Amino acid sequence: MSNRHVLRPLTGLAAGGLVAIGVSGAVAKILGRVFGAGFVSADLPGVAYTPERCADFVRYFPGKSCLEAAALHHWGEVVTYRVAAGILGLVLGAVWYVMRRGDDEPSGLAATIGLPLFGLAAAVLLLDTLNAAVAGGGPGASLSAGLVALAVAAYLAPPFYRNVLAHA
């Protein structure tokens, strides 16, 4: 197996992972619009900001309380950073597409690595969603990422089965 046969599927997996992060940003945006910014990014009870930090938040969101402005600010960061990662994933996806031109040989490497990786990420993120909901913080950031990771794991399950389990 050549380096290209390893690098190409790993590049595709990385690109897909970054695009999935971008999609989770879009899901977080929708959750924030539907349920409010606090659902996605509220602080846990007991978190306090210095007066200077509160002034920073309120300057960005005049007319809001410190905690409301902080939630809006953090929600914006969750969405923006994730969407930026998704855009990077699209660029890497273009590189992957060029790398695979002329070579139709399927590889089970991406599914072999990707299914356990995304499955574990989904489990951890969805458990963190429950933890945040019970603790009183905003569960939406973990929920949006966990749902997307679960969807990617489900997408990778058939090729994982074909390439790994069917040959066992």
pLDDT digits (tens, 9 = 90+) for 58-102: 999 999 999 999 999 999 999 999 999 999 999 999 998 888 766
pTM: 0.89
Structure tokens at 126: 């969805």
The C-alpha atoms of residue 137 and residue 106 are separated, in whole angstroms, by 44
The C-alpha atoms of residue 78 and residue 33 are separated, in whole angstroms, by 13
**DSSP SS3 for 42:** coil
**C-beta separation of 82 from 22 below 8 A:** yes
pLDDT at residue 118, rounded to an integer: 97
Average pLDDT of 27-36? 97
Average of per-residue pLDDT values in the chain: 91
Instruction: With a cut of 80, say whether residue 107 has pLDDT above it.
Output: no
Q: Which of 43-52, 104-113, 144-153 has the lowest mean pLDDT?
A: 104-113
- Work out how many domains the chain is built from and give that number: 1
**Tokens 């300057």 sit on residue:** 59
**Domain range holding 56?**
3-167
**DSSP SS3 for 68:** helix
